[in-house]
Amino acid sequence: MEYKFFTVDELKCQHCGKHSMDDDFMLKIEALRHDLGIPFTVTSAYRCPEHPIEAAKKSPGAHASGRAIDIACQGDKAYEILEGALRMGLTGIGVNQKGASRFIHLDDLEAEEGRPRPWVWSY
């Protein structure tokens, strides 16, 4: 699938280079980006199970499913993305708004044991 607002390079695993984003999820993210009319800087998208962050977990997380993305943002932009994600029905929203690497995590995973949804958390 080709994307209007994102390149394959910014969505691929930073560990192995594989691109495995879910098309249905990306349609939602493309729609969110279009609706908000602001650029999204992707800090993390797909992560293979061997990616150091995923490998350190009990089991691979949302990024390994291809249904998660982290977007660099702060202040009013973070608020707009958060508000849009809730309108869009995204089910996992992680907020990191402290320090130098501020971002919002978005995913659309369903609830399962150990991972309730909908859910909002902070880092």
Q: How many CB atoms lie within 10 A of CB 72?
A: 17
Q: Which CATH architecture has domain 8-122?
A: 2-Layer Sandwich (3.30)
Structure tokens of 60? Answer: 């691979």
CA-to-CA separations, 35 to 9, 19, 79, 96, in angstroms, rounded: 23, 25, 14, 23
What are the pLDDT digits (tens) for 65-119? Answer: 999 999 999 999 999 999 999 999 999 999 999 999 999 999 999 999 989 999 9
**Residue 78: strand, helix, or coil:** helix
pTM assigned to the model? 0.96
What pLDDT is stored for residue 92 in this prediction?
Answer: 98
Q: Which of these ranges, 47-51, 56-60, 77-81, 100-104, has the smallest mean pLDDT?
A: 56-60
Is 78 within 8 Å of 40 (Cβ atoms)?
no
What pLDDT is stored for residue 99 in this prediction?
Answer: 95
What pLDDT is stored for residue 123 in this prediction?
Answer: 94
